[in-house]
Structure 1
């Protein structure tokens, strides 16, 4: 795949978690789809992973990461950040400006020049740390919206390597991007990469249409999976690469005895009803308030669901110290209380709402036990929960209700029930349809969803991106 190249991965956080247990510091493997996808490739060629270790200078970071790297077979290089960096770069520009803007939620955006300067400074620091590690033949792969300018900073430091960038969240339309006071340096920062990857064709088109407004960018060719752009003296390739999951691993773990027992226990406690599952991080982009209103409406128009279905909504704590997120949680708490007080009967509660994380066994058990998954973000780059749910539906009897504004809808829309999360009545009708769907139709739909997932798993995603990154270097 890499033809003699070493892979250097750059992400906001390292694939390791450093924590203190009483008076001892420990390091453990990180979790998440990106770690699962990239670690085998980085390990296979003794590569490098650069990122913030998630802690300050009080921990013996370098020694812990050296030990971790020796066990895992690759090097981890920390980028130190202090509290001001985290506040301005991460909580500030990344999550108060880029996150809502890229998710089409302009009303949540804050445009502050101070946090833009923090963002530039931290991206420059990432590049400076990396520049000391990158060899002549290395491939560099930078990840996500926090680090858009790293490529430009590397070029400024003289780096001539193949640089790839993948955006895990959506890319906004040109009209929306125009609101950003610093749109041009951000776009020009992206154009310093050889290959820019997006989740969907729509995201790629939004980017191409945005940079096409710059005087020194010309579209050379539009192809099925990528667009070639002439920028100054280089050719830049922009492509769409929908990320996925390790399907075989999810299927294997979903069949484990402890998961089977946990799924049985979960459904036994809620016997005689269909379980509708929602699992989301606490975030205003996830459409949780609209979801609760749609479920309430479904109980109104489909009264036979009362007592025979329950919504299990898991909300994973996120950004708990940010006032806007605290207010959002309070709003959700009130909505759940109101709906439950309206419809609850003896022995039945419509919404089982839990504000917590699930361990691996409980997560897989919830996937397996639920007849319906209700995944309705207002906007999402991909949404891997939809894919995890399908991979774990090993009995092929689940129904996926999916927002048309999730990137996953492009791949899964034929056999999922697509909804507009802003359309409360339409989403309620989809819930009723899923509740009444015959077993044969459920199984046919889920079987096709799972077959497509197996063909397009996370390993294929990695292979496609790296193959194109090597090719993009030849073109340039």
Structure 2
């Protein structure tokens, strides 16, 4: 029989009294799907976050609260499905948050993806500041807080993830829940002059001040957040500590919000060992042989792997590749750009428009340069299996990653971890959080500068093998020395999860 929460509350972990975790994220680590004639089906979520957090939850025990990806179902139905298909087999429970289609439209598709996402990626002119979105965001955050309040016990450590759920700790305080709580933002934090375009920016700041600890990806994000605080408050005192920056706000009228909190810079990472294992698998090797056979000898493969998003700099990437072929006609027939675009948020109008724009550009550039036996851009829209992706990483001679703004960009880290032969070059936007870690081991570019990006592709094409290996070895070591598991441990320590 699956354990109910009351049973788990008495369960002791094997870590000498470590606090039980209550993980809170917009989505659970698996999604539910009701299939006609078959009943309920569970689909595991992909991504480094789940891979890192699942073993931590198994080790410590606890509860993971989130939406299971299906609308208009009761909490009781969702819980029964999770009890039968997940909760009986592991040492932590998945607790569902039930959302209606209307709530998903306003909270997720609306406020999260038409307001917060573009604003925090420096695209505030693309924001739709619909007040109904803000109300829906508050309502859904309250719904999440109610579920956390139902399952949390005294002493639990609450860890909330990302921009969808900023208000959860504030709502928990209103409900009388005083557990230590922390927040990690996976996307960038904007400068004060951009952030303050949000009509509800003060409310968001106050909500963030309900957390005891806030984790951000980069030093730049931390600086931006501190600038926002000094915009709102007259007196903000900062003290550098071992695990972050301690902040004290002189405003005595903060009520239930924190006057003292800590901010840490904690770049997220990947499961290096797992990526390396998949990259070296037999199935990946078979894909590699197939892909290499499809290219002519002496063809240099430039690889792009990006989620469909206007923040990823796809039009700029294609324009840079066009500029390369114009400036270096000797490369025609000898180099290709293989671009994979992963479907994402296709119900949001801006994403559909982005897809049309990049497909128009691909057709235009291929029309300009295609020769018998050679097409410059190979464009694919769809998902890939992990072995297929790892094979593409290894067959590529150059990876071209050009986000206009990115919290981290784990594709860059995956690419390096998969480089068993250590022979490829990474060209990386300086606006990706990963650039702060890789530094000059990658060829750093400003994706808005298509001429310099084109010349960087040419530099990578011409780079001696010894230099390629030196750069890649350094980046692989960086990723190996700081994995997703290290990130989790460092976050929990910085946040005082067991203090």
* TM exceeding 0.5: yes
Distance of 1:57 and 1:205 partners within structure 2 = 41
Q: Report Cα offsets for 1:193-216 as digits up to 9, x if no partner.
A: 011000000001100111122337
The answer to whether the 8 A contact 1:295-1:428 is kept is: yes
RMSD (Å) for aligned C-alpha atoms: 1.6
**TM, length-normalised to structure 2:** 0.92
Q: Which residue of 2 aligns with 1:462?
A: 488
Conserved 8 A contact 2:73-2:100: no
CA distance in 1: counterparts of 2:222 and 2:279, whole angstroms: 34
Structural mapping, 1:328-343, within 5 Å: 328-343=354-369
* Distance in structure 1 (CA, Å) of the matches to 2:214 and 2:73: 37
Conserved 8 A contact 1:398-1:446:
yes
TM-score scaled by structure 1? 0.96
The equivalent residue for 1:66 is 83
Runs of 4+ in 1 over 3 A off after TM superposition: 57-60, 222-225, 231-234
Q: How many residues align?
A: 473
Deviation at 1:224, TM superposition (A): 7.3
Equivalent position to 1:363, from 365, 389, 406: 389
The question of whether the paired residues in 1 share the 8 Å contact of 2:209 and 2:259 is answered with no
Aligned equivalent of 1:241: 266
Which residue is equivalent to 2:93? Answer: 75
> How far has the Cα of 1:3 moved from its partner?
4.8
The equivalent residue for 1:411 is 437
Match of 2:289 among 264, 269, 277: 264
CA distance in 2, matches of 1:394, 1:2: 39
Alpha-carbon distance in 2 for matches of 1:297, 1:225: 45
Q: Distance in 2 between matches of 1:16 and 1:401?
A: 33
- Between 1:132-141 and 1:214-223, the stretch displaced more is 214-223
1:252 corresponds to which residue?
A: 277
Counterpart mapping for 1:12-411 below 5 A? 12-24=26-38, 25-58=40-73, 60-67=77-84, 68-215=86-233, 218-223=236-241, 226-231=244-249, 232=252, 234-272=259-297, 273-411=299-437
Q: Distance in 2 between matches of 1:453 and 1:94?
A: 30
Task: Give 5+ residue unaligned stretches, structure 2.
Answer: 1-14, 253-257
| Other structure's SS at 2:350 match | helix
Contact 2:73 2:98 in 1 (8 A): no
Q: Deviations over 1:157-187 (max 9, x none)?
A: 1111110100000000011111111001101
Partners of 1:45 and 1:457 lie apart in 2 by: 19
Q: Does 1:4 align with 2:13?
A: no
Shift of 1:22: 3.3
Conserved 8 A contact 1:212-1:219:
no
CA distance in 2, matches of 1:419, 1:280: 17
Of stretches 20-29 and 321-330 in structure 1, the one that deviates more from structure 2 is 20-29
- Structure 1 residue ranges without an equivalent (≥5): none
